């Protein structure tokens, strides 16, 4: 699994013009699922998102996590994180999960975060979404459960 994590002051996701998920201070997590991901990838990614210390402490150092600042997560599925552009000009999505297995693993990340006390809003899986955010910093972190980067 891969994720692009952005520290935000606020973020929301719209489907057909209607807000389906919204947070204030927290993390926007764009999450992609690979075709060979499983429960270990879910646990790794959920723990990383939950425990990232990317919020400033009193000295201005990134030393605080979501629970320290009362933050939330806006989780949005994003298959394009597995787009391979090394050859040609059109991305290949051969490594991306099929729809239903991807949905199950995406939902498992959301459930694991919630089970550990994190407030999570989501987009709509497989929908065309408009994501709005106010990036704080900006701070953007890349995560990969297979540690490929």
Q: Which of 107, 105, 131, 100 is nearest to 21 (CA)?
A: 131
Report, as an integer, the average pLDDT of 41-60. 98
DSSP E strand boundaries for 16-147: 18-23, 26-32, 55-56, 62-64, 72-77, 119-122, 130-144
Torsion of CA 147, 30, 71, 142, to 10 degrees: 30
pLDDT on residue 18: 98
pLDDT on residue 113: 98
**For the segment 82-139, what is each residue's pLDDT rounded down to a tens digit?**
999 999 999 999 999 999 999 999 999 999 999 999 999 999 999 999 999 999 999 9
Average pLDDT over the chain, rounded to whole? 97
- Residue 149 pLDDT > 90, yes or no? no
Report, as an integer, the average pLDDT of 66-83. 97
77: left (phi over 0), alpha (psi -120 to 50) or beta: beta
Q: How far apart are CA 68 and CA 98, in angstroms?
A: 36
- Residue 33 pLDDT > 90, yes or no? yes
pTM of the predicted structure, to 2 decimals? 0.96
* Token couple for 109: 């990340």
Q: Which domains does the chain have, with CATH numbers?
A: 2-136 (3.50.80.10)
């Amino acid at each position: 699994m891969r994720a692009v994590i952005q520290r935000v002051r606020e973020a929301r996701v719209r489907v057909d013009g209607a807000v389906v998920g919204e947070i204030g201070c927290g993390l926007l997590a764009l999450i992609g699922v690979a075709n060979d991901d499983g429960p270990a990838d879910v646990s790794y990614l959920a723990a990383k998102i939950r425990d990232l210390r990317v919020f400033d402490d009193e000295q201005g150092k990134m030393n605080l996590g979501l629970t320290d600042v009362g933050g939330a997560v806006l989780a949005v599925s994003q298959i394009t994180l597995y787009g391979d552009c090394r050859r040609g000009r059109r991305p290949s999505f051969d490594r991306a999960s099929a729809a239903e297995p991807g949905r199950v693993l995406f939902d498992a990340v959301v459930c694991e975060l919630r089970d550990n006390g994190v407030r999570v809003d989501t987009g709509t899986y497989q929908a065309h979404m408009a994501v709005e955010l106010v990036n704080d910093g900006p701070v953007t972190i890349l995560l990969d459960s297979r540690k490929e980067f």
